[in-house]
Amino acid sequence: MAQLDPTALDLQLAVPKRGIRVGRIRVPGWLALLLRNRKSRAGLFIVAFMVFIAIISPLISVAHPNDFNLLATRQAPSWHHLFGTTDQGSDVFSQVVVGARRSLLLGALAGALATLVAAVLGITAAYVGGIVDEIVNLLTNVFLTIPAIPLLVVVSGYLRTRGMWTMIAVIALVLWAFEARILRAQALTLKNRDFILAAKASGEPTWRIVFGELMPNMISRIAAAFVLVFYISLLVDSGLEFLGLGDMSATSWGVTIYWAQVNSTVLQGEWWPFMFPSLALGLTVLGLVLVLAGIDEVSNPQLRADRKRGRLAALLLGRAAA
* Residues at the interface with another protein (CB under 8 A): 2-6, 10-11, 14-15, 193-204, 213, 216-217, 308-309, 311-313, 315-320, 322
Q: Which is nearer to another protein, 77 or 216 (CB)?
A: 216
| Minimum CB distance to another protein smaller for 55 or for 198 | 198
> Residue 24 CB, nearest distance to another protein (Å)?
23
Q: How far is the CB of 259 from another protein (least distance, A)?
A: 49
- Give yes or no for a contact between 222 and 99, defined as CB atoms under 8 angstroms apart: no
Question: Chain centroid to CA 256: how far?
Answer: 21
Least distance (Å) between residue 141 CB and another protein: 19
Nearest CA among 173, 164, 149 for reference residue 255: 164
Residue pair 127/187 in contact by the 8 Å Cβ criterion: yes
Smallest separation, CB 311 to another protein (Å):
8
Of 301, 308, 314, 304, residue with least CA distance to 33: 301
The smaller minimum CB distance to another protein, of residues 267 and 316, is found at 316
Length of the chain: 322
Residue 239 contacts by C-beta under 8 Å, 6 or more apart in sequence?
149, 254
Nearer to another protein, 36 or 80 (CB): 36
Per the rule left: phi > 0, alpha: psi between -120 and 50, beta: everything else, 236 is alpha
Least distance from C-beta 10 to another protein, angstroms?
Answer: 6
Residue 196 Cβ vs another protein, minimum distance, rounded to whole Å: 8
Nearer to another protein, 262 or 322 (CB): 322
Name the nearest CA neighbour of 246 among 262, 227, 230. Answer: 262
Taking the C-alpha atoms of residue 293 and residue 288, their distance in angstroms, rounded to an integer, is 9
Residue 190: its H or E element: helix 164-191
> Based on CB atoms, which residue is closest to another protein, 32 or 96?
32
